[in-house]
Protein backbone atom coordinates (compact mmCIF):
# COMPACT_ATOMS: atom_id res chain seq x y z
CA UNK A 1 0.00 0.00 0.00
CA UNK A 2 1.23 3.54 -0.65
CA UNK A 3 2.37 5.87 2.07
CA UNK A 4 0.30 8.77 3.33
CA UNK A 5 3.19 10.41 5.14
CA UNK A 6 7.00 10.52 5.05
CA UNK A 7 9.31 12.45 7.35
CA UNK A 8 13.04 12.93 6.81
CA UNK A 9 15.19 14.38 9.55
CA UNK A 10 18.92 14.94 9.38
CA UNK A 11 21.37 16.45 11.82
CA UNK A 12 25.05 17.02 11.05
CA UNK A 13 27.99 18.13 13.19
CA UNK A 14 30.99 19.85 11.64
CA UNK A 15 34.07 21.09 13.55
CA UNK A 16 35.04 24.61 12.47
CA UNK A 17 38.49 26.16 12.09
CA UNK A 18 37.96 28.34 15.17
CA UNK A 19 37.53 25.21 17.34
CA UNK A 20 33.76 25.44 17.71
CA UNK A 21 31.14 23.04 16.36
CA UNK A 22 28.55 23.89 13.73
CA UNK A 23 25.33 21.87 13.81
CA UNK A 24 22.86 21.77 10.94
CA UNK A 25 19.38 20.28 11.45
CA UNK A 26 16.68 19.83 8.86
CA UNK A 27 13.17 18.39 8.86
CA UNK A 28 11.24 17.74 5.67
CA UNK A 29 7.97 15.83 5.70
CA UNK A 30 4.73 15.67 3.76
CA UNK A 31 3.48 18.83 5.51
CA UNK A 32 6.45 20.76 6.84
CA UNK A 33 10.00 21.78 5.99
CA UNK A 34 12.28 23.66 8.36
CA UNK A 35 15.97 24.16 9.12
CA UNK A 36 18.00 25.12 12.16
CA UNK A 37 21.67 25.91 12.54
CA UNK A 38 23.54 26.24 15.79
CA UNK A 39 27.11 26.96 16.86
CA UNK A 40 28.57 25.46 20.05
CA UNK A 41 31.75 26.74 21.68
CA UNK A 42 34.28 24.29 23.12
CA UNK A 43 35.19 23.19 25.66
CA UNK A 44 32.27 24.52 27.73
CA UNK A 45 29.61 23.56 25.12
CA UNK A 46 27.89 26.95 25.25
CA UNK A 47 25.48 27.67 22.39
CA UNK A 48 26.83 30.87 20.85
CA UNK A 49 24.63 31.18 17.76
CA UNK A 50 21.28 29.80 16.64
CA UNK A 51 18.92 30.53 13.80
CA UNK A 52 16.00 28.78 12.12
CA UNK A 53 13.70 29.13 9.17
CA UNK A 54 10.35 27.67 8.22
CA UNK A 55 10.38 26.79 4.54
CA UNK A 56 7.00 25.09 4.24
CA UNK A 57 4.13 24.57 6.68
CA UNK A 58 0.39 23.99 6.49
CA UNK A 59 -0.11 26.38 9.41
CA UNK A 60 0.26 30.15 9.12
CA UNK A 61 1.07 30.32 12.85
CA UNK A 62 4.44 28.64 12.23
CA UNK A 63 5.85 31.78 10.54
CA UNK A 64 6.68 33.31 13.93
CA UNK A 65 8.29 30.13 15.30
CA UNK A 66 11.92 30.91 14.34
CA UNK A 67 11.96 33.92 16.70
CA UNK A 68 12.10 31.62 19.71
CA UNK A 69 15.39 29.97 18.73
CA UNK A 70 17.41 33.01 19.83
CA UNK A 71 16.44 32.33 23.42
CA UNK A 72 18.74 29.33 23.66
CA UNK A 73 21.88 31.38 22.91
CA UNK A 74 24.00 31.33 26.04
CA UNK A 75 22.66 27.95 27.23
CA UNK A 76 25.10 25.07 27.64
CA UNK A 77 24.66 21.62 26.13
CA UNK A 78 24.38 19.31 29.11
CA UNK A 79 22.08 17.84 31.77
CA UNK A 80 18.79 19.66 32.15
CA UNK A 81 18.75 21.04 28.59
CA UNK A 82 15.31 19.53 27.86
CA UNK A 83 13.73 21.48 30.70
CA UNK A 84 15.70 24.65 29.98
CA UNK A 85 14.95 24.64 26.25
CA UNK A 86 11.27 23.88 26.83
CA UNK A 87 10.99 26.71 29.32
CA UNK A 88 12.91 29.29 27.27
CA UNK A 89 11.27 28.46 23.95
CA UNK A 90 7.70 28.45 25.26
CA UNK A 91 6.65 24.82 25.71
CA UNK A 92 3.35 23.90 24.05
CA UNK A 93 2.76 27.54 23.10
CA UNK A 94 5.77 27.45 20.78
CA UNK A 95 7.09 25.27 17.98
CA UNK A 96 7.53 21.74 19.32
CA UNK A 97 9.66 20.75 16.33
CA UNK A 98 12.17 23.57 16.87
CA UNK A 99 12.45 22.72 20.56
CA UNK A 100 13.16 19.12 19.55
CA UNK A 101 15.67 20.43 17.00
CA UNK A 102 17.70 22.01 19.81
CA UNK A 103 17.67 18.75 21.79
CA UNK A 104 18.55 16.63 18.77
CA UNK A 105 21.38 18.99 17.87
CA UNK A 106 22.69 18.76 21.42
CA UNK A 107 22.46 14.97 21.29
CA UNK A 108 24.43 15.01 18.03
CA UNK A 109 27.17 17.09 19.72
CA UNK A 110 27.50 14.46 22.46
CA UNK A 111 27.58 11.64 19.88
CA UNK A 112 30.24 13.53 17.89
CA UNK A 113 32.50 13.13 20.95
CA UNK A 114 31.38 9.51 21.42
CA UNK A 115 32.41 8.29 17.94
CA UNK A 116 36.20 8.00 18.64
CA UNK A 117 35.52 6.15 21.92
CA UNK A 118 33.21 3.66 20.19
CA UNK A 119 35.79 3.12 17.44
CA UNK A 120 38.49 2.43 20.06
CA UNK A 121 36.17 0.13 22.05
CA UNK A 122 35.56 -2.04 18.97
CA UNK A 123 39.19 -3.22 18.78
CA UNK A 124 40.88 -6.18 20.46
CA UNK A 125 39.63 -9.33 22.17
CA UNK A 126 36.27 -9.65 23.92
CA UNK A 127 37.95 -9.17 27.32
CA UNK A 128 39.85 -6.10 26.09
CA UNK A 129 36.63 -4.59 24.72
CA UNK A 130 34.80 -5.31 28.00
CA UNK A 131 37.61 -3.63 29.96
CA UNK A 132 37.42 -0.54 27.75
CA UNK A 133 33.66 -0.30 28.27
CA UNK A 134 34.14 -0.60 32.02
CA UNK A 135 36.81 2.13 31.96
CA UNK A 136 34.37 4.29 29.98
CA UNK A 137 31.66 3.69 32.61
CA UNK A 138 34.01 4.59 35.48
CA UNK A 139 34.79 7.87 33.70
CA UNK A 140 31.11 8.48 32.79
CA UNK A 141 29.06 7.10 35.72
CA UNK A 142 25.88 8.67 34.24
CA UNK A 143 25.95 5.85 31.67
CA UNK A 144 25.44 3.21 34.38
CA UNK A 145 21.86 1.87 34.11
CA UNK A 146 21.25 4.15 31.09
CA UNK A 147 20.36 1.18 28.86
CA UNK A 148 20.28 -2.62 28.81
CA UNK A 149 24.00 -2.88 27.94
CA UNK A 150 24.90 -1.05 31.16
CA UNK A 151 22.20 -2.56 33.40
CA UNK A 152 23.31 -4.13 36.71
CA UNK A 153 22.87 -7.68 35.35
CA UNK A 154 24.63 -7.02 32.03
CA UNK A 155 27.71 -9.18 31.32
CA UNK A 156 29.54 -5.91 30.58
CA UNK A 157 29.06 -4.86 34.21
CA UNK A 158 30.48 -8.05 35.77
CA UNK A 159 33.53 -7.26 37.85
CA UNK A 160 33.27 -3.49 37.35
CA UNK A 161 33.54 -2.80 41.06
CA UNK A 162 36.50 -5.20 41.40
CA UNK B 1 34.07 17.65 7.16
CA UNK B 2 31.02 16.19 8.90
CA UNK B 3 32.20 14.14 11.88
CA UNK B 4 28.77 12.98 13.00
CA UNK B 5 25.50 12.74 11.14
CA UNK B 6 22.16 11.16 11.99
CA UNK B 7 19.23 10.56 9.65
CA UNK B 8 15.77 9.48 10.78
CA UNK B 9 13.04 8.52 8.37
CA UNK B 10 9.47 7.96 9.54
CA UNK B 11 6.77 6.66 7.22
CA UNK B 12 3.03 6.42 7.77
CA UNK B 13 0.90 3.83 6.00
CA UNK B 14 -2.82 3.46 6.67
CA UNK B 15 -3.53 -0.27 6.82
CA UNK B 16 -7.19 0.65 7.37
CA UNK B 17 -8.87 3.95 8.24
CA UNK B 18 -8.46 3.09 11.92
CA UNK B 19 -4.99 1.51 11.80
CA UNK B 20 -1.78 3.36 11.06
CA UNK B 21 1.57 1.61 10.53
CA UNK B 22 4.51 3.83 11.42
CA UNK B 23 8.02 2.79 10.52
CA UNK B 24 11.03 4.59 11.90
CA UNK B 25 14.53 4.09 10.57
CA UNK B 26 17.65 5.54 12.21
CA UNK B 27 21.10 5.60 10.62
CA UNK B 28 24.05 7.48 12.03
CA UNK B 29 27.81 7.09 12.32
CA UNK B 30 27.39 4.68 15.25
CA UNK B 31 23.93 3.08 15.12
CA UNK B 32 21.45 1.64 12.63
CA UNK B 33 18.07 0.37 13.75
CA UNK B 34 14.44 0.27 12.79
CA UNK B 35 11.03 0.04 14.43
CA UNK B 36 7.65 -0.86 12.98
CA UNK B 37 4.68 0.04 15.14
CA UNK B 38 0.97 -0.47 14.41
CA UNK B 39 -1.30 2.08 16.08
CA UNK B 40 -5.06 1.94 16.54
CA UNK B 41 -6.77 5.24 15.76
CA UNK B 42 -7.87 7.67 16.94
CA UNK B 43 -6.85 6.62 20.48
CA UNK B 44 -3.24 6.11 19.45
CA UNK B 45 -2.94 2.71 21.14
CA UNK B 46 0.03 0.56 20.12
CA UNK B 47 -1.33 -2.79 18.97
CA UNK B 48 1.94 -4.35 17.84
CA UNK B 49 5.63 -3.42 17.57
CA UNK B 50 8.77 -4.90 16.03
CA UNK B 51 12.34 -3.76 16.25
CA UNK B 52 15.43 -4.48 14.19
CA UNK B 53 18.98 -3.74 15.30
CA UNK B 54 21.32 -3.54 12.35
CA UNK B 55 24.38 -1.76 13.70
CA UNK B 56 25.09 -1.31 17.41
CA UNK B 57 27.96 -1.07 19.88
CA UNK B 58 27.89 -4.03 22.32
CA UNK B 59 26.82 -7.69 22.12
CA UNK B 60 24.16 -6.97 24.77
CA UNK B 61 22.32 -4.37 22.64
CA UNK B 62 20.12 -6.80 20.64
CA UNK B 63 18.43 -7.84 23.91
CA UNK B 64 16.66 -4.48 23.78
CA UNK B 65 14.49 -5.73 20.90
CA UNK B 66 12.28 -7.77 23.26
CA UNK B 67 11.90 -4.81 25.64
CA UNK B 68 9.89 -3.02 22.94
CA UNK B 69 6.93 -5.34 23.69
CA UNK B 70 6.34 -3.35 26.91
CA UNK B 71 4.73 -0.67 24.75
CA UNK B 72 1.89 -2.87 23.47
CA UNK B 73 -1.34 -1.43 24.86
CA UNK B 74 0.23 1.95 25.58
CA UNK B 75 -1.47 5.07 24.21
CA UNK B 76 0.54 7.68 22.37
CA UNK B 77 -1.95 10.23 23.77
CA UNK B 78 -1.25 9.56 27.45
CA UNK B 79 0.17 12.81 28.88
CA UNK B 80 3.39 11.15 30.04
CA UNK B 81 3.92 8.78 27.11
CA UNK B 82 7.26 10.25 26.04
CA UNK B 83 8.72 10.06 29.55
CA UNK B 84 7.41 6.52 29.86
CA UNK B 85 9.07 5.48 26.57
CA UNK B 86 12.40 7.00 27.63
CA UNK B 87 12.13 5.32 31.04
CA UNK B 88 10.88 1.85 30.06
CA UNK B 89 12.22 1.42 26.54
CA UNK B 90 15.24 3.70 26.75
CA UNK B 91 16.72 3.08 30.18
CA UNK B 92 15.64 -0.58 30.34
CA UNK B 93 16.34 -1.27 26.66
CA UNK B 94 17.92 1.07 24.13
CA UNK B 95 17.96 4.90 24.15
CA UNK B 96 17.98 4.95 20.35
CA UNK B 97 14.96 2.65 20.03
CA UNK B 98 13.23 5.08 22.39
CA UNK B 99 14.23 8.03 20.19
CA UNK B 100 12.84 6.32 17.09
CA UNK B 101 9.59 5.37 18.84
CA UNK B 102 9.13 8.91 20.16
CA UNK B 103 9.68 10.30 16.65
CA UNK B 104 7.11 7.84 15.26
CA UNK B 105 4.62 8.79 17.97
CA UNK B 106 5.12 12.50 17.35
CA UNK B 107 4.26 11.89 13.68
CA UNK B 108 0.91 10.29 14.57
CA UNK B 109 -1.30 13.34 14.01
CA UNK B 110 0.85 14.72 11.17
CA UNK B 111 0.30 11.42 9.34
CA UNK B 112 -3.45 11.62 9.98
CA UNK B 113 -3.63 15.24 8.86
CA UNK B 114 -1.52 14.52 5.76
CA UNK B 115 -3.84 11.65 4.86
CA UNK B 116 -7.01 13.72 5.30
CA UNK B 117 -5.51 16.82 3.66
CA UNK B 118 -4.61 14.71 0.62
CA UNK B 119 -8.14 13.31 0.34
CA UNK B 120 -9.68 16.81 0.69
CA UNK B 121 -7.40 18.37 -1.93
CA UNK B 122 -8.24 15.56 -4.38
CA UNK B 123 -11.94 16.34 -3.95
CA UNK B 124 -11.43 20.15 -3.87
CA UNK B 125 -8.20 20.97 -5.76
CA UNK B 126 -8.60 24.74 -5.39
CA UNK B 127 -9.15 24.66 -1.62
CA UNK B 128 -6.62 26.45 0.58
CA UNK B 129 -4.33 23.94 2.36
CA UNK B 130 -3.99 26.45 5.24
CA UNK B 131 -7.78 26.56 5.68
CA UNK B 132 -8.07 22.78 5.47
CA UNK B 133 -5.29 22.38 8.05
CA UNK B 134 -6.90 24.93 10.38
CA UNK B 135 -10.26 23.18 10.04
CA UNK B 136 -8.64 19.77 10.66
CA UNK B 137 -7.07 20.95 13.92
CA UNK B 138 -10.40 22.47 15.06
CA UNK B 139 -12.30 19.23 14.37
CA UNK B 140 -9.68 16.95 16.00
CA UNK B 141 -9.43 17.97 19.67
CA UNK B 142 -7.25 14.95 20.42
CA UNK B 143 -4.53 16.55 18.26
CA UNK B 144 -4.69 19.94 20.01
CA UNK B 145 -2.37 21.34 22.63
CA UNK B 146 1.01 20.20 21.31
CA UNK B 147 2.30 23.47 19.79
CA UNK B 148 1.38 27.00 18.66
CA UNK B 149 -0.13 25.69 15.40
CA UNK B 150 -2.41 23.27 17.28
CA UNK B 151 -3.70 25.22 20.27
CA UNK B 152 -6.33 23.78 22.56
CA UNK B 153 -9.92 24.85 21.99
Domain boundaries, chain B: 6-106, 111-143
User: What is the H or E stretch that residue A81 is in?
Assistant: helix A81-89
CATH class of the domain at B6-106: alpha beta
What pLDDT is stored for residue A99 in this prediction? Answer: 92
Nearest to B110 among A5, A11, A92 (CB): A5
Cα–Cα distance for residue pair B47/B11, rounded to 1 Å: 17
A70 & A146 share domain: no
For residue A12, the model assigns a pLDDT of 98
A33-41 and A46-56: which strand pairing?
Answer: antiparallel
The nearest CA of chain A is from the CA of B45 a distance in Å of 19
Number of domains within chain A: 2
Tell if the CB–CB gap between B12 and A6 is shorter than 8 Å.
yes
Quick one: pLDDT at residue B143?
84
Predicted TM-score (pTM) of this structure: 0.93
Mean pLDDT of chain A: 91
Structural domain of A47 = 7-113
Which residues of chain B are modeled with pLDDT < 70?
none
Please report the ipTM that was assigned to this predicted complex: 0.93
Inside any domain, residue A13: yes
Q: What is the mean pLDDT of residues A47-70?
A: 90
User: Do residues A89 and A145 both lie within one domain?
Assistant: no
Provide, for chain A, the percentages of residues in helix, strand and coil under a 3-state DSSP scheme, each rounded to the nearest 5.
45, 25, 30
Which pLDDT value is given to residue A161?
66
Mode of pairing for the β-strands spanning A21-29 and A33-41: antiparallel
Separation in Å, CA of B100 to nearest CA in chain A: 11
Interval A109-120 mean pLDDT: 92
- For residue A11, being part of any structural domain is answered with yes
pLDDT in tens, A59-114: 877 888 888 899 999 999 998 998 899 889 877 778 889 999 999 999 999 999 99
The answer to whether the peptide bond before residue A22 is cis (omega within 30 degrees of 0) is no
Percent of chain A clearing pLDDT 70 (strictly above): 99
In a domain, A118, yes or no: no
Amino acid sequence: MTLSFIRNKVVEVEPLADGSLSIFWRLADSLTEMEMTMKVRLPDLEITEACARIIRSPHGECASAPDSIQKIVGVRVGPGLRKIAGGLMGGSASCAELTEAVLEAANAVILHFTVPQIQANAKGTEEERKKRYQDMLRFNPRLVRSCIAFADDSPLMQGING
Amino acid sequence: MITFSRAIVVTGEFLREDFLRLRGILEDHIYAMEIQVDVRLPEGIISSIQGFMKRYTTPVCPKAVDVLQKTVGMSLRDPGWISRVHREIGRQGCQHFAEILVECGRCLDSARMSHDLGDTLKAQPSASPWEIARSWVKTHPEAQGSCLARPKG
